[in-house]
């Protein structure tokens, strides 16, 4: 075993952070979770998931819109109100995805790791060794940042759609 390999193993082995609180393990857990994995999908499966959320949101937004604007009397306002309500729910889902990935990005990018040994009252910090910090930052750069950019872009497009729906509403 080379001296560098021995130093790496000893610095990581001396890590006091519980394995479930290590940023890289948190990243892996988030990446494998049912909900947060949506952001890692290819474009069409990603858009299909968001489309399903939007369609299912109509179960709540549709009756609310129908109570305010009956479909038979005012179909355009009904459609705009229902689509806007469903889009607001979709934006909350996207915001939750973004915040989860942004938290992991922050944990991976930081040079120190805050962790709890046995409960909320005994928090500690651990300074990452250079090799761990470099590895974590590479994961952020090549894995997490593209996801955050995609989620930001999706939120921006959704905001533009909501704004254009609002302008159509005013025009009607």
Instruction: Decide if 19 contacts 25 (C-beta within 8 A).
Output: yes
pLDDT (mean) for 31-36? 97
C-alpha span between 120 and 65 (Å, rounded): 44
C-alpha span between 37 and 31 (Å, rounded): 5
Whether the predicted pLDDT of 172 surpasses 90: no
Q: Would residue 157 count as lying in a domain?
A: yes
Q: Would residue 158 count as lying in a domain?
A: yes
Q: Would residue 57 count as lying in a domain?
A: yes
What's residue 136's pLDDT? 97
Q: What is the pLDDT of residues 43-83, one digit of tens each?
A: 999 999 999 999 999 999 999 999 999 999 999 999 999 99
Nearest to 96 by CA among 151, 41, 27, 167: 151
Tell me which residue range forms the domain holding 160: 14-111+124-171
Q: Tell me the percentage of the chain whose pLDDT exceeds 70.
A: 91
Q: Would residue 116 count as lying in a domain?
A: no
Q: Would residue 76 count as lying in a domain?
A: yes
What's residue 111's pLDDT? 95
pTM: 0.87
Q: Would residue 159 count as lying in a domain?
A: yes
Q: What is the pLDDT of residues 105-146, one digit of tens each?
A: 999 999 999 988 776 677 889 999 999 999 999 999 999 999
Instruction: Decide if 23 contacts 108 (C-beta within 8 A).
Output: yes
What's residue 120's pLDDT? 66
Q: Would residue 8 count as lying in a domain?
A: no
What's residue 6's pLDDT? 39
What average pLDDT does the structure give for the chain?
91
What's residue 13's pLDDT? 58
Q: How many domains, the chain? A: 1
Tokens of 78: 């009904």
Nearest to 112 by CA among 99, 97, 94, 124: 124
């Amino acid at each position: 075993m080379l001296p560098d390999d021995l130093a790496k193993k000893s610095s990581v082995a001396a890590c006091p952070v519980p394995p479930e609180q290590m940023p890289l393990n948190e990243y892996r857990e988030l990446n494998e979770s049912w909900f947060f994995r949506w952001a890692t999908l290819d474009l069409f499966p990603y858009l299909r998931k968001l489309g399903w959320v939007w369609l299912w949101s109509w179960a709540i937004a549709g009756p609310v819109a129908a109570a305010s604007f009956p479909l038979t009397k005012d179909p355009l306002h009904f459609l705009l109100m229902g689509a806007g309500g469903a889009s607001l729910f979709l934006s909350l889902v996207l915001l939750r995805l973004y915040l989860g990935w942004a938290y992991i990005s922050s944990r991976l990018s930081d040079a120190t790791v805050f962790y709890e040994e046995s409960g909320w009252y005994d928090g500690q910090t651990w300074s990452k060794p250079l090799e761990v910090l470099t590895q974590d930052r590479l994961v952020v750069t090549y894995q997490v940042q593209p996801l955050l950019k995609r989620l930001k872009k999706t939120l921006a497009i959704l905001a533009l759609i909501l704004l254009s729906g609002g302008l159509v509403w005013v025009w009607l």
